Structure 1
């Protein structure tokens, strides 16, 4: 019996698979680049060799992660032409320039200074090397700016005119600073910083539990707690503002997030559904656990505010409820788990027990990937919640897919899965090896130019022990 290979479904799976890998690397490098700039600044201020060792250690991890992010990003961009030619034809006049601006402003800036950052120690003056690190960190933020601007425009298109079914810019300011962009940009940048906090803190807890690299680990954990104490509460505030924006601009997404099927009676308010098994066919929730009116307070900031239910949208205009409903709860649940861990850590810090509370250190070890998981859950919420639109309210995903056969997409999807699992699996394994080895009390000598140079980019992550210059 022949298998029905739907090119639309397979193309969506393929793009989702590729971007799920790719989004993790910027989530690490954006925060890690700023962390490296801070660490080098502390080295310049104090000349404490501990800061230098931390800089070298995290630079190796940054180099590998940055390289994998570039590779996965290039592959992802090709799919706009191969799998989504309908989107390219309709919105190429807007998306093309936005993505080009990212290359011209961010990628070139990163590429110009990355070599100095990775290989310039002992070859340029310390101030110039610090400038290179700052420029790389700035480049990651500028890259995030343009990518989020393009993606946000798909969610809240603005500043365009339609000519023969094609979108053309009428106001670049409105295109770039579209209504959802400020919230999504702040949300993503904070998510990247939080991911870095928990990776650094989880790594520190790993060492402290084993009594290794204690001096470096105590410094890392203290800073991870301090930075997370700022970024996690800020993310909750930004997330709340983002939710108000979704309520206004993407009501069908919000209805799917809340699994809200029917409008409540006047003045009854909207309950907050904590747990449910959404049943799309019956248009109801099974095994629902909800708190009356709390949804109104959170979603509308009023006692009896309402939101549009799914029943007010045609079935073909509703996003899939199951993945959106549960992905959102994973993201929010992890956010509050992070907040609880940070509060506990601050309390133990005040008591002088931050570094010798076994259960606390174990919790940090468990929570090291929590930021990355939350990023993936947030992406699933945002992108599947946008369905069935690729440009919200304007262009359906079914009209954006290329005229390719299901068999061709299936073959390419299988190839991507195999190659990605091997390449990025090996990259992840190599990072794990570097983390297990930990910071080394080394300083790359000036005569190391041939072994570590920009002509051998991955040599930046070479973990071979080096001699220390006094």
Structure 2
């Protein structure tokens, strides 16, 4: 019943639910733009069918993302008043910039994108899709600027214990921001790629062999195959940046206890924080030094360096960070193996028809793998920041509200119940849409688009 632990769990539950939907909308907006441009260029109905199906997924994801984001923001006041009291001069403007630029842009053109297809010129509808896609990316930019600043704060000074901005450029483009932004954008791209490929594979299993399913399955597999090596490279750069600015987090990710050269890469272990050792360790000698220092004799900081003389632990909890990191990396390599082998089989065989049934089921099974990998990555980076809320400036204990554990627990249970229901409803709705589309139910598209739609203004029906 510790209010601090319960408040942390509650915020983690809220952000875990919220982040699922921006992770989809950030990249899906650009995929929708691709579908629309392909239709404009070729007139092929499969691209417009794909647009009309996936814009429904975008609309649903956008709605849940907005609602959960508003709910999460309330917790700054209810659970973490010390956060805004100390760093509100930085956090407030960055959140306001996100609302005044990205959110207003999305809100202004989302209606045209969803409902204006037959009511506005084709170029305007395409432009609206472009601006909504840009708005989702701009939103990610501002949110990640704030989140990155909390990890690697810069451009500020303390006056009477309160943070004041001195250099907004340094605040926005703080040392970890570029790496974190690229890593998140690629994560969104991979999430959407596997969602598109997964739902398309599910429709294929249900007997839908239409041109739309063939096109979207190929697009999903291709985007995944292109992005996953870029994500691995970006992750390496991000890890090196984290080692420079947050060495305790990297030590926890690697379950490395002693500062030494030739640090082994621990593939599996049960970190024992009390005994300060790993149990049942399986490791590759020296490989962590090669990865983190690019040299076999590279010295990597250990967790024991972050214990004070009086025994106070100043590093994050090891086991959650260690295992979350391995879930993220493991899924990344699974994505690499599936997407690359699928692309090779399609090129070697007869396109989608050349994919063995096992690969089709593999894509269906990994439809939401991007969600799992994203959550694992966020747990790694956010738990890895502990005990700090803003590194070197504000701890979580200093920021938590003075409320009873029972009050936090009751709201936490309510949040979990609602979010569990909404997640089940969301996945169920996507499955319903996919099954209806596979069955050829035209109620999904009661007003199919003519071939020249999106190119010129449509004449009203006589």
Q: TM-score range by the shorter chain?
A: over 0.9
Instruction: Pick from 241, 266, 274 the counterpart of residue 267 of structure 2.
Output: 274
Matched, 1:324 2:321: yes
Q: Contact (CA 8 Å) 2:206, 2:435: kept in 1 or not?
A: no
Superposition deviation, residue 210 in structure 1: 2.8
1:19 equivalenced with 2:15 (yes/no): yes
Cα deviation, residue 214, structure 1: 3.0
Deviation string 1:202-251 (CA, Å, 9 cap, x unpaired) is 11211222321432111111111221122111101100000000110000
Q: What's the CA shift for 1:436?
A: 1.9
Q: How many residue pairs align between the two structures?
A: 444
Alignment partner, residue 233 of structure 2: 237
Q: What is the aligned counterpart of 2:297 among 297, 304, 327?
A: 304
Q: Relative to structure 2, which stretch is displaced further, 177-186 or 218-227?
A: 218-227
Contact 1:53 1:442 in 2 (8 A): no
Residues 173, 127 of structure 1: alpha-carbon distance in 2 compared, 3 angstrom cutoff: same
Please list the CA deviations of residues 22-65 of structure 1 after superposition, one character each: whole Å capped at 9, or x if unmatched: 01001111111111010001111111111111110001111111
1:439 deviates by 6.5
| Alignment check: 8 A CA contact 2:273 2:318 kept | yes
Task: For residues 3-26 of structure 1, give each alpha carbon's deviation from its aligned partner in whole angstroms, at most 9, with x where no partner exists.
Answer: xx2110110000000110001001
2-side partners of 1:347 and 1:406: how far apart? 55
In structure 2, distance between residues paired with 1:338 and 1:35:
19
3-state SS of the aligned residue for 1:289? strand
- Going from structure 1 to structure 2, the CA distance change for 1:197 and 1:465 (only over 3 Å counts) comes to closer
- Tell me what 1:180 maps to: 176
Cα distance, 1:253–1:278 mapped onto 2, change above 3 Å? same
- Is the aligned partner of 1:200 residue 2:199? no
1:239-388 matched pairs, under 5 angstroms: 239-264=235-260, 268-314=261-307, 315-356=312-353, 357-388=356-387
Contact residue 257 and residue 321 of structure 1 kept, 8 A = yes
User: Does the Cα contact within 8 Å between 1:53 and 1:441 map onto a contact in 2?
Assistant: no
Q: CA deviation at 1:421?
A: 2.2
Determine the C-alpha separation between the residues in 1 that align with 2:71 and 2:449: 42
TM-score normalised over the length of structure 1: 0.92
Match of 1:453 in 2: none
Q: Following the alignment from structure 1 to structure 2, what is the Cα–Cα distance between the partners of residues 203 and 389?
A: 40
Any conservation in 2 of the 1:160–1:170 contact (CA below 8 Å)? yes
SS at match of 2:50: helix
Between 75-84 and 352-361, report the one with greater CA deviation.
352-361
Q: Aligned-pair distance for 1:425?
A: 2.9
The runs of 5 or more residues in structure 2 that have no matched partner are 451-462
Q: Alpha-carbon deviations, 1:174-195, whole Å to 9, x = none?
A: 0000000000000000000000
